[in-house]
Structure 1
Amino acid sequence: MAHASGNTDVRQGILDTAHRIVGAKGFSGVGLNEILAAAGVPKGSFYHYFGSKEAFGEALLEDYFEDYLADIDATLTEPRLSHAERLMNYWRKWQATQGSIDYQRKCLAVKLAAEVSDLSEPMRLVLKNGTTGIIERVTGAIEAGVAEGSLKIEGEPQATAETLYQVWLGASLMAKIERTDAPFEAAMATTRRILNPQPA
Structure 2
Amino acid sequence: MMALRKFWQRSVHIIQNTAIYTPAANFHTSEALCSAPMKKKRKLDINIVIQKEIKKKRKLEKQIRRLEAKGRILKPIDEIVGDRSIMKTIESRKRPTDNENSKNEEEVKALQRRWANYKFDQHVKETKQISDAIDCQNEALIELRKISEDLYQLAIQTDNDLVPFKRIGPVSTPPISNYNPPDGEYIDTTRKYDK
> Aligning the two structures, in what range does the TM-score lie when normalised by the shorter sequence?
under 0.3
**Which structure carries more helix by proportion?**
1
**Which structure carries more strand by proportion?**
2
Higher radius of gyration, 1 or 2: 2
TM normalised by structure 2 equals 0.19
Structure with greater contact order relative to length (CA < 8 Å, sep ≥ 6): 1
